[in-house]
Amino acid sequence: MKPLDYEEGGTAVQDVRKNDTNRDRRQSLRNNRFTKSFVKRTIQLLSVNRIMFSVPGSKCIALTFDDGPVAENTTKILGILRQFQIKTSFFINGKNAEKHPDLVRAMHEEGHTVGNHGYNHYHLEDYKGNLVSYFDNIRRAEEIIASITGKRSFLYRPPYGNMDLSIFLPICKMGYRIVFWNFDSNDSFIKNPALLASTIISAAPGPGSIILMHEDYNHTLQALPEILAGLRRKKVRFCSL
């Protein structure tokens, strides 16, 4: 008996298979599109108010200082801020906070915001394959901040601004808003205090700007009074996050 091959009945079988394959493909495409749009919508929903590059709807400017507290610098920065009657935000590392709890307490008691910048200051790539350690690093800093100030922080700034989807949703689930910046003072590159101050002032950060600065640079500390005075001359108002 002639087996069913693709000379005669085969065409029908091929057609059925082709139809099945096409149907599967269409279904898979629909599922894929649905999954993609579902993921996109979920991320958009979760992202609302979860990521900050600026202070939306605000006319003030938020200065942010990263990587402290640092023994002498922080005390001096706090003194300058007190003198100008300005409130800012500090994104601190837990390991530094452990060394200088008094400085973290002073930030908090003087009305500045204390945000979480991780316990260590490692790149995200250093945690690839071991994201549990990344989240432990955040929690460890969170516990130290809470033990000093009496309340946990809900603001997190990832070291180096390193962020991807593998950590974004879990960090949101931990209750954090992720704070980036839309104005880099470039104090990692401009090490002359006068030049740093004039660069920031002439760039005139707009309303709602979040300015990235570093607490551990001496040139930033030296430039700070002129930065604040210069921005004040431009009628800038400051706020904490």
Return the active site residues.
66, 214
In the 8-state DSSP scheme, what is residue 57?
T
Rounded least distance, CB 158 to Zn ion, Å:
9
Sequence-separated (6 or more) residues with CB below 8 Å from residue 23: none
Binding segment (CB under 5 A) for Zn ion, from list 9-17, 43-51, 60-68, 184-192: 60-68
Q: Residue from 66, 142, 187, 215 that binds Zn ion (CB under 5 A)?
A: 66
Residues linked to residue 206 through DSSP beta bridges, in sequence order: none
Which residue from 209, 113, 101, 99 is spatially nearest to 152, judged by alpha carbons?
Answer: 113
Residue 175 three-state SS: coil
Torsion over CA: 14, 15, 17, 18 (sign): positive
* Number of residue whose CB is nearest Zn ion: 66
**SS3 for 20?**
helix
- Over the window 134 to 163, marking each residue x when it contacts Zn ion by CB under 5 A and - when it does not, the resulting string is -------------------------x----
Residue 215 touching Zn ion (CB under 5 A): no
> From CA 49, how far away is CA 204, in angstroms rounded?
25
Nearer to Zn ion, 67 or 187 (CB): 67
Q: With respect to Zn ion, which residue has the nearer C-beta, 91 or 238?
A: 91
End-to-end CA distance of the chain: 83
- 187 near Zn ion, judged by CB under 5 A: no
Nearest CB to Zn ion, comparing residues 210 and 236: 210
Q: Which is nearer to Zn ion, 81 or 141 (CB)?
A: 141
Closest approach, Cβ 213 to Zn ion, in A, equals 11
Residue ranges in contact with Zn ion by CB under 5 A:
66-67, 159
